[in-house]
Chains A and B, each alone.
Chain A
Amino acid sequence: MQFRHRGKKSEIENGNNVVSIISLKEGEKGIVSHAVGGFGLLRRLAEMGLTPGVEVKVLRKGLFSGPVEIEVRGVALALGHGVASKVFVKPLKDASNG
């Protein structure tokens, strides 16, 4: 009975609790699972260090649907809202020992 599921749309869609980076709160961490988008975007993201399996931390989120600043591989990276919404992560529950 799929209709009865209540919860975040992205969670239902992905089943195994993978969410887009924009659904993380400031200070929360996650492990990159995958990204969706064109060939160019995926490559660009990978080259900036956002490869599957890497840990990211959301440092800051902009006003309204603003950009998201994340930390990845020791570097602060600003991602536009559209870009950030295409990167999916597995949230780490306990931010302190992630």
Chain B
Amino acid sequence: MAKQLRIALAGNANVGKSVLFNQLTGLNQIVGNWPGKTVERAEGTLHYKGYKIRIIDLPGIYSLSTFSMEEIISRDYIAVEKPDIIVNVVDASALERNLYFTLQLLELEAPIIVDLNQVDCAAKKGVRIDAEKLSIALGVPVVPTVAITGSGIAELLSTVIAVAKGDKKLEPLKVSYGREIEEKVHALEKIVKAKLPQICKVYPARWVAIKLLERDADVTEKLKNYENGREVLDYAEKTASELEKIHGEPSPVIIASERYSLASKIAKDVTEFEAPPRISLEQKLDAVTTHKILGYLVLAGVLASIFTLIFAGGSLISAGLESLLLNFSLWVEQWFSLFLPQIVVNIFSKGVLGGIIAGITIALPYIVPFYILLALLEDSGYLPRAAFLMDNLMHKMGLHGKAFLPLMLGYGCNVPACIGCRIMETERERFLAAFVVTLIPCAARTVVILGLVGRYVGLHAALALYAFDLILIFALGRIAFKVLPGEPVGLIMEMPLYKRPLIKNIALKTWSRTRDFIYIAFPIIIIGSILLEALRLSGFVNYIVEASNPLMSGWLGLPAVASIPLIFGVLRKELTLIMLSELIPLDSLTPVQMVVFSLVIMLYIPCVATIATCKREFGWKKALGIALVDIALALFIGGIAYRILSLNASLSFFFLEA
């Protein structure tokens, strides 16, 4: 039987852990050039030299203090589940910063190997790191790699095996502080050992002592559950105050300063500056894209060209596929009716086949190009620049620039975007960001907007809808900011270097997202289409239509049957357009109806997957709250829009004259 090993990848945000993870496991963990992308840990398995190695990709963090959720996830995993080896992925181009984290891993007394990654980026900066010297300084193996090309991965694996077998011994550096701190840590460590033997079975006593001195919230909370916890906490509190009195700074700042000065010393000792860094293309690009004025022009240009490209490409492919598949479905229908009863043929051709064809012709042509462009944005490192530019505006909504990252993701799919809100620092900000995210038209809603309004009314009308959505989000965000209690937090975000996106990664990412879309969306589309066909054949449709008529035609000015797609749309948003096209010819709608329909779809209840995600992140109450607010909003604005567009000649002229 293969020997088992459990390895965790840990390190700062954006150092290439996910890239390394994919290289090791062959899995498609989504990679991206922005901090905070892996919010849940990913797992994969690798077989190597008779070992079955389980690999866990932990979220990227800066420290092992409990400031954000990811930090707690990572720390608990390392401390409690005790993986056999921790591969500490370190960005060679920002060694000092990364060593700060390494020192904390050493304090946790975790068995670590340092993966000195992105040595190519460091070389670009004119920095060369002496891996051997670093290894001696830290007392653990250091393997230089370039994970993105796979260079050094084999050496990394054999080092892992050598350490696991005991061929290579670790003699980790003992992180020590200045005399005053050291004395206090010692005293506290003794007390922790004496009073809390249970906790010392899980965490090293010295580490607990340091964390107590740092007033770590999570460790404090944990201690409260123990018999002698209070007593130890009181002592720790006294010690921390003494330290603060001497230095005039909060204790975590004092300890962080000391850790950093050690990191800085080690980094200086092992770093050689080879060539004076020249101004690279990346730096020029950086200067333009974050420029006070040019930056915003670039951002507007990027967003506008994304939608134009998706629309132009999507409608072209969509029209081509449609004519192709229509003939195919007619042929299948004829062939089937040779030996099957008519009702079965109807359900099959209208339901199953109709669903598949609609999925292929309506949804995929818009979704695939979008995923490609989103992947390009993510991998290049442009997103944090956009976040930088948007910081000011986001503050007006009680958020900060970082919230722009989940917002952009939301245009792809609201589900990962809601999870991505975890990069925000407080519960209040996470919820606020998630609420705003649910109003972002995801790829599925883009299908409806571009496939209906864009295609039949004109691209300008579709873009107007997006612009309106942004204004609405801003206004609502502002209201929510005023209504929700709590103080806003400021932006502190690392800006990664620009990187040339690799075609292979873009393709992989686009494929894995498209595959998810097909696996999740197609069954729902097909089942929805069959149900619809059954409802229609049974005559049940009429009841629903009749009941919802006042709302549909009376208030929204839509055809009464539009209530059916709206109900099913809770499952998947693109299903609404597919169902609508199965119920009535799309070109029989008036432009105003198309605009109102798309507007309602854009805003009303998040799809089930998003609601479920919100429930998991924030609980039932808040998830339902978001859903109800969204529904009310969609109906309210839809009705108003119908009235304004029908009455106001100049506005409807804009929408009618394509």
Instruction: Give A residues with C-beta under 8 Å from B.
Output: 34, 39-49, 51-54, 60-67, 69, 73-83
A44:B492 contact, CB within 8 angstroms: yes
Question: What are 24 A-to-B residue pairs whose CB atoms are below 8 Å?
Answer: A39-B215, A39-B252, A42-B253, A44-B425, A44-B492, A47-B252, A48-B62, A52-B253, A53-B257, A60-B287, A60-B290, A61-B292, A62-B391, A63-B293, A64-B392, A65-B392, A69-B495, A73-B94, A74-B95, A74-B97, A78-B384, A78-B492, A80-B391, A80-B491
Complex: A93 Cα to B481 Cα, angstroms: 41
Q: How large is the interface on B (under 10, 10 to 19, 20 to 34, 35 or more residues)?
A: 35 or more
Does B395 touch A at the CB level, under 8 Å? yes
Q: Judge whether A49 and B100 touch: CB under 8 Å.
A: yes
Query: Does B182 count as interface, using CB distance less than 8 angstroms?
Result: no
Partner of A81, one of B93, B392, B489: B392
Are the C-beta atoms of A51 and B96 separated by less than 8 Å? Answer: no
The answer, yes or no, to whether B554 is at the interface (CB within 8 Å) is no
Residues on the B chain within 8 Å of A79, using CB = 490-492
A70 to chain B, nearest CB (A): 10
Kindly report which residue of chain A lies nearest to residue B263, judged by CB atoms.
A73
Chain A nearest CB: distance from B269 CB in Å? 15
Task: Tell whether, in the assembled complex, residue B492 and residue A42 are in contact, meaning their CB atoms are under 8 Å apart.
Answer: no
Residues of A within 8 A of B287 (CB): 60
Are A46 and B97 in touch, CB under 8 angstroms? no
* Chain B residues within 8 Å of A49, by CB: 96-97, 100, 260
Across the interface, A66 reaches (CB within 8 A) one of B250, B264, B391, B495, namely B391
When the two chains form their complex, are residues A78 and B388 in contact, meaning their CB atoms are under 8 A apart?
yes
Do A76 and B494 have beta carbons less than 8 Å apart? yes
- Pick from B264, B287, B391, B425 the residue with the most CB of A within 10 Å: B391
Q: Would you call A47 and B67 a contact (CB within 8 A)?
A: yes
Q: Is B65 an interface residue (CB 8 A)?
A: yes
Contact B94 A75 (CB under 8 A): yes
Residues in B with CB closer than 8 Å to A46 are 252-253, 256-257, 260
B63 within 8 A of A: yes
Q: Does B183 contact A (CB under 8 A)?
A: no
B59 at the interface (CB under 8 A from A): no
Residues in B with CB closer than 8 Å to A48 are: 62, 492, 494
Q: A44-B492, A75-B94 are in contact. Are A67 and B264 (CB under 8 A)?
A: no
Give the top 6 A-B pairs by smallest Cβ distance, nearest first.
Answer: A80-B491, A83-B490, A46-B256, A80-B490, A51-B257, A76-B495
Q: Which chain A residue shows the least CB distance to B392?
A: A66
Contact of A73 among B67, B97, B214, B489 (CB under 8 A): B97
B172 within 8 Å of A (CB atoms):
no
> Does A63 lie within 8 Å of B392, measured CB to CB?
yes
In the complex the two chains form, is B493's CB within 8 Å of A77's CB? Answer: yes
Whose C-beta in chain A lies nearest to the C-beta of B101?
Answer: A47
Given contacts A44-B492, A47-B67, A74-B94, 11 further A-B contacts (CB under 8 A): A39-B250, A42-B252, A46-B256, A46-B260, A48-B62, A51-B256, A63-B292, A67-B391, A73-B264, A77-B493, A79-B491
B65, B249, B493, B494: which contacts A34 (Cβ < 8 A)?
A: B249
Q: Which residues of A contact B260 (CB under 8 A)?
A: 46, 49, 51, 54, 73
Provide the bound-state CA to CA distance between A73 and B259, in Å.
13
In the complex the two chains form, what is the Cα distance from A22 to B389 in whole Å? 16
Cα distance A77–B97 when bound, in Å? 11
In whole angstroms, what is the CA distance A75 to B296 when docked?
24
Chain A residues with Cβ below 8 Å from B257 are 46, 51-53
1/0 contact trace for B411-450 toward A, CB 8 Å? 0000000000000010000000000000000000000000
Least distance between B487 CB and chain A CB atoms (Å)? 9
Are B493 and A78 in touch, CB under 8 angstroms? Answer: yes
Contact flag A80-B400 (CB < 8 Å), given A49-B96, A69-B495: yes
Q: Mark B53-76, 1 if CB is under 8 A from A, else 0.
A: 000000000110101000000000
Residues of A contacting B493 in the complex (Cβ-Cβ under 8 angstroms) = 77-78
Complex CA gap A46/B215 in Å reads 14
B395 proximity list for chain A (CB < 8 A): 80-82
CB distance from A40 to the nearest CB of B (A): 7
A46–B252 CA distance with the chains assembled, in angstroms: 8
B528 contacts the other chain (Cβ, under 8 Å)? no
The complex places the Cα of A85 from the Cα of B522 at a distance, in Å, of 51
A46 to B63 Cα, complex, angstroms: 10
Is B490 touching A41 in the complex (CB atoms < 8 A)? yes
Q: Report yes or no: B253 in contact with A62, Cβ–Cβ below 8 A.
A: no
Chain B proximity of A71: nearest CB distance (Å): 10
Chain A residues contacting B388 (CB-CB under 8 Å) are: 62, 67, 69, 78
- Chain B residues within an 8 Å CB radius of A41: 489-490
Q: Which residue of chain A is the closest to B260 with respect to CB atoms?
A: A51
Q: Are A43 and B253 in contact (CB under 8 A)?
A: yes
Contacts of A40 in B (CB 8 A): 67
Residue of A nearest to B100 (CB): A49
Central interface residue in A43, A60, A61, A64, by most chain B CB within 10 Å: A43
Which residues of chain A are within 8 angstroms of B606 by Cβ–Cβ distance?
none
Q: Is B36 an interface residue (CB 8 A)?
A: no
Q: Please tell me which one of the listed residues A42, A61, A69, A78 contacts residue B250 in the complex, with CB atoms under 8 A apart.
A: A42
Q: Once the chains are docked, how many angstroms separate the CA of A61 from the CA of B295?
A: 12
Residues on B with beta carbons closer than 8 Å to the beta carbon of A80:
391, 395, 400-401, 490-492
Report the minimum CB–CB distance from A59 to chain B (whole Å).
Answer: 9
* List of A residues within 8 angstroms of B384 by Cβ: 78
Which residues does chain B contribute within 8 Å of A73, judged by CB atoms?
Answer: 94, 96-97, 260, 264
Provide the residues of chain B in CB contact with A81, threshold 8 Å. Answer: 391-392, 395, 490
Q: Is the CB of B65 within 8 A of A47?
A: yes
Least CB distance, B655 to chain A, in whole angstroms: 33
Question: Which of B62, B293, B387, B389 touches A47 (beta carbons < 8 Å)?
Answer: B62
Residues from chain B with a CB closer than 8 A to the CB of A53 are: 257, 261
- Residues in A neighbouring B387, C-beta threshold 8 A: 78
Nearest to B400 among chain A residues (CB) is: A80
Chain B residues within an 8 Å CB radius of A66: 292, 389, 391-392
The residue in B62, B65, B100, B388 that gathers the most chain A C-beta atoms within 10 A of its C-beta is: B388
Bound complex: CA A69 to CA B496 (Å) = 12
Asked whether, in the complex, the Cβ of B401 is within 8 Å of the Cβ of A67, the reply is yes
Q: How far is the CB of B393 from chain A (nearest CB, A)?
A: 10
Task: Decide: B250 and A75 in contact? CB cutoff 8 A.
Answer: no
B residues near A34, Cβ cutoff 8 Å: 249
CA distance A80 to B250 in the complex (A): 22
